[in-house]
Amino acid sequence: MSRVFNFNPGPAALPLPALERAREELLDYRGSGMSIMEHSHRGKDYEAVHNEAISLLREQLSISDDYHVLFLQGGASMQFAMVPMNLLTAGKSADYVLTGAWSEKALSEAKPMAALYSAAVRAAGTTGTGEGKEKSYVRAATEADVKADDAAVYLHLCSNETVHGVQFAVNGEFPHFGKAPVVADMSSDFLWRKIDVSRFGMIYAGAQKNVGPSGVTVVVVRKDLVDAGRKDLPKIFQYRTHVENNSLYNTPSTFGIYIVRNVLLWVKDQGGLAGIEKINREKAWLLYKTIDSHPGFYRCPVDAGSRSVMNVVFRLPSEALEEKFVSESKKAGLVGLKGHRSVGGIRASIYNATGLDAIHALTHFMNEFAKANG
């Protein structure tokens, strides 16, 4: 078996032990004579896996009883719609902080809901400069960037902009943006370290970066927000429905949640999030150090304090060299390094399951490539 060094942005690398456990249990889950995929989602075997995944997540992030943990479907993209759908009401408004492509998308998806409800959504602050193709984001927002409305029903931010490689609170706490409950899209930096969940009204994340396969969306939501949610929606779109049914209102992504459980067991084996954070910081430090040690050749456009620990973006002197970098790195067994099509360049996504060995292989390749082409 040969496994590549996987730098895909999501779906992304999964921890090998989580996959191996799945392989071992694939055909016969714990002597039941069938795989977990073939079990009823209402049966004892599956329910044990489901509840174990929830309790492992609660344990790793120290999530208090003030919050519900849900496993939904539809990706983070569906949360772009579900959040305003549930929380906006006529005459009320919600704030959005814009720091990259995904927070922009969250705002644009909220607009039709606001129009339908005679409510409002607004950009309370942006770190974007330029327009159209020239638009760029190179840093997270500070308190000075945001004019928050304390009466807003929520303030939305994206903690890690996967496309732009811009992350909040890399070396400290999240800024305080007024009094409204903070709703955070943490799709690409959920579970990379311990965070203070009590700073948030709601956190959501597509699982396919740090937590598991695609098809599962993790939602951590404060009870009062669930209770305050609208009741005039189809049941499937109300958070309370999923809370009341422990995310088993309809058939969930059972195999996806099973893999999430395996990933969480692996996290625990790594010394929990403290152990995971230490390795993640070392990985990012090594990669940024390599970029900065070739100043005429590699360039990271992101401000030092906002450089993502999860998605490391950088440019080479020309697009032709970037193409060559991607194709030669692939031949060297380094996969998924092409930057997002909207911004170009190179992006190394180095989520939890991408190990130090992958970083050493990449930095070695980068040094050699700079020597040969610089």
Ligand X SMILES: Cc1ncc(COP(=O)(O)O)c(C=O)c1O
The catalytic residue positions are 102, 185, 209
Report which residue type is found at 357. Answer: D
Choose one: 91-99, 111-119, 183-191, 358-366; the region binding ligand X (CB under 6 A): 183-191
Q: What angle do CA 36, 269, 74 make, to 5 degrees?
A: 45
284 CB burial (10 A radius; 0-12, 13-18, 19+): buried
The correct pick among 86, 162, 280, 290 for binding ligand X (CB under 6 A) is 162
- Six token digits for residue 121: 């959504």
Q: Which amino acid is at 40?
A: S
| Segment interacting with ligand X (CB under 6 A) among 34-42, 69-77, 148-156, 290-298 | 69-77
CA within 13 Å, CB half, 258: 21
Q: Rule CB under 6 A: choose which of 93, 188, 210, 254 binds ligand X.
A: 188
CA 221 – CA 216 distance, rounded (Å): 16
CB of 212 vs ligand X, minimal distance in Å:
12
Q: State yes or no: residue 354 binds ligand X (CB under 6 A).
A: no
Name the residue nearer to ligand X (CB basis): 102 or 365.
102
Q: Is 203 in the site for ligand X (CB under 6 A)?
A: no
Q: At what angle do helices 319-331 and 356-373 cross, to 10 degrees?
A: 130
CA dihedral 337, 341, 345, 348 (to 10 degrees): -30
* Minimum gap (Å) between residue 192 Cβ and ligand X: 13
* Torsion, CA 345, CA 351, CA 354, CA 357, rounded to 10: 80
Closest CB 188 distance from ligand X, rounded Å: 4
Contact 55, 65 (CB under 8 A): no
Lay out the site mask for ligand X across 5-44 (x = CB under 6 A, - = otherwise): -----x----------------------------------
> For the sheet containing 182-185, what is the strand order?
67-72, 217-222, 202-206, 182-185, 155-158, 93-98, 120-126
> Is 185 one of the binding residues for ligand X (CB under 6 A)?
yes
Give the residue closest to ligand X by C-beta: 75
| Min separation Cβ 154 and ligand X, Å | 16
Determine if the peptide bond prior to 11 is cis (ω within 30°).
yes
Cα–Cα distance for residue pair 148/257, rounded to 1 Å: 36
Residues 267 and 344 sit within 8 Å (Cβ to Cβ): no
Of 353 and 366, which has the nearer Cβ to ligand X?
353
Report in angstroms how near the CB of residue 7 gets to ligand X at its nearest. Answer: 14
Which string of x and - marks every residue 102-121 that binds ligand X (by CB under 6 A)?
A: x-------------------
Residues in contact with ligand X, counted by CB under 6 A, come to a total of 11
Q: Which is nearer to ligand X, 89 or 214 (CB)?
A: 214
What is the smallest separation between the CB atom of 81 and ligand X, expressed in angstroms? 10
Residues 71-90 that bind ligand X (CB under 6 A): 75-77
Find the part of the chain contacting ligand X (CB under 6 A) among 50-58, 181-189, 288-296, 342-350. Answer: 181-189
- Nearest Cα residue to 25 out of 193, 347, 265: 265
Binding residues vs ligand X (CB under 6 A) = 10, 75-77, 102, 158, 162, 185, 187-188, 206
